[in-house]
A and B are shown apart, each in its own frame.
Chain A
Amino acid sequence: MKAIVPIKRVVDPYAKVKPTADGAGLDSGGAKFEINPFDEIAVEEAVRQKEAGRFTEVVVVSVGKGECEEQLRKALAIGADRAVLLETQEPLDSPAVAKVLSEFVAAEAPHVVLMGKQATDDDNNQAGQMLAAILDWPQATFAAKTDFAADKATVVRETDSGEETLELPYPCLVTTDLRLNEPRYIALPGIIKARSKPLEKRPLASVPAPKSSVVSFAPAPARPPGRKVGSVAELAQAIKDRGVF
């Protein structure tokens, strides 16, 4: 069984990000870039399935600028077999990414697409479901546990009120939640070894126009400064005084 794992390059999720003075862009203060944490979980899961003999090939793909190569290399270091960068300078929204990926996936014809439930920069939580819709594949979002058997995939997924278990025929698309696994630590030798794995750059002749775009960014309003109280009695009184109790 072959798996495709789409990954996104995002700013370090622990970086402090703020709007630029003119509100036209974002300033992350020179923070480093990472694989979106949810996508890294997807790569880890696919590689574990390969190690367990379930998947035969794991292909990672990213849509974006040349710099995404860094994240694809890291995915190769985790254990993916090959990487493809669908290269474009154009801005993309989730529908455009899903459309571009749908053509790639259709050509690769995998059994499974595994990807993060959301990117930690735009927090959209859209691309996986849109890709599944365009391909008309079954989807299981927010996976907490997977079992890729020969005839079907079984996915325990997180829900608003707990968990549920779904069975999906192949081919199918699964998006990952945080508890699916803990990605391995990559030591330097792994990174060096990944340099010899195939990474193909394919320039995209055109990309679909985005269906939405950001007009401006503003900082989230800061909460007014609070105060520390000296005792529990004072705390209880202050809570009561605010009239919320």
Chain B
Amino acid sequence: MSSSEEDDHSAHGIAESFDPPFNMPVVFKRAAADLSARHEATTDDQQSSDIPDIYGPDEGSPYPETEIEKQIQSRIKADILRSKLNYSDPFDEVHDRYGFRRQTAKISLDQYNAWWKEYRPYIQRRERKWQNLMSEVGLYHKDTTNPPTRFPPRSSKVTRYIRKGIPAAWRGNAWFWYAQGPQYLAKHPGLYDFLWKRAFANHNRDAEVIERDLHRTFPDNLLFANHNQTDDESPMISALRRVLLAYSEYMPATGYCQSLNFLAGVFLIFLDEEKAFWMLVIITQKYLPGMHDENLEGANIDQGVLMISVKDTLPTVWSKIGMGFDGFSADQVRETTDSAGATSLDDKELLTHSRASTEFIRKLPPITLSTTSWFMSGFIGTLPFESVVRIWDCFFYEGSKVFFRIALTILKLCEPELNALSDPIDVFQTVQDVPKSMVDPNYLLTSCFKRNNGFGHISEAEVRARRMYVSEIRRRSSRGQLGLNRNGNTPSDQNFQQWDNKMYKFQKRSNSPLLHGLPLRLRMHRLKLAADNHT
């Protein structure tokens, strides 16, 4: 990946062969003009300025065409840079096949190399298996060099194949396919380009906080690191900027949240930026709803779900992590456990439980300070990178339950070490550090999906039900604590209202049934459905 090669490519005019749909679609122009007319009519109406305008005034913006042109050039360069990854061979002696350093704080170069020696033949074998599978269903031909863009429908065989790892060169497309990315893209052609241009033109309100995190995203990765000699910004960083800005434009109520930089960064390693953008939208709306919102309530809810599951299936681990230095005493744990009848908690029991037994949901145990980031960043930074992408293979195919299962597996694998500890401080340290040294994804995934392993077989439906349950408990207790706004809504209601407003506009434009006038709860429900079927 030398610099001269890069220059060669741009000099050879690869630019011409690259034909992005950069024209703003007529429909957006019309919407923008329409809205800017309305905007002028109501400039001093305070009410309307509260509502984020996703198709606000845009026409005639002073943003110079030359700047746009620069962005387009850097997009081409980012694509070229990505195309240099063949996803099979490590970059060099010290970097892996994705451009990351092989050695990390918890894994030595020797450990990495020993693992890679075993793992490499494995992935080659899996690649051949996948090629056969895909040829059988006519989705792959040996002579094509482009990775397939369509993948086989769900079946137990495909599930098995996915759990054993998607070939890295196909991975991005497979994620995109199973997450229903093509539908999103087809429904909103050109929207991505419109959004990032608009962000530049109107100075997006998250621009500064996004800027602050760009160079702090995978600084050790060759794709993201600044140019060796000139210290110029890597085109991947520019791509990341556009993706995050576009996201903030698209989701003004959520805006930019730290950790989205990591998620977007991984998407950019495997997909072009428009698809990366849609994956970011999909993961935050469909897979991890509310997790990155203004109040992170979605993250707290998932931590509640995780804690219930730990309590439920890993009682020994729970006895270690369920308590901590923070006023959550072992007594409370005991009480909770007793009243729950040993350690099993089904939903009905939970619903009829005393306040004490749900205390750990309202006031999450301190261990969640660590485990929150597992979910928010999809295990990036928690597990070695190969494990992260292997988990994501399953996640986009099977759903959010995969994150819960993996989290439970990690805790299960920590169990022997945890058992030897009594000081909560050592417990934190172990839960934080042990996953970083789990070098072999196969071990982790086999432990996770092993039949009858007695823990963590949480289904997608259970995840949904538990999320609703936890959310309800937290809602009830948060009234008064979180502070209600004027309308007596919690901040999360407010979020939904903003989302609601935005979606309303969105749906109005696309002639979907209007949600206007429905009671808030019903609208929230509809909107959730709409977001799920948003494809």
Report if A and B associate in a common complex.
no
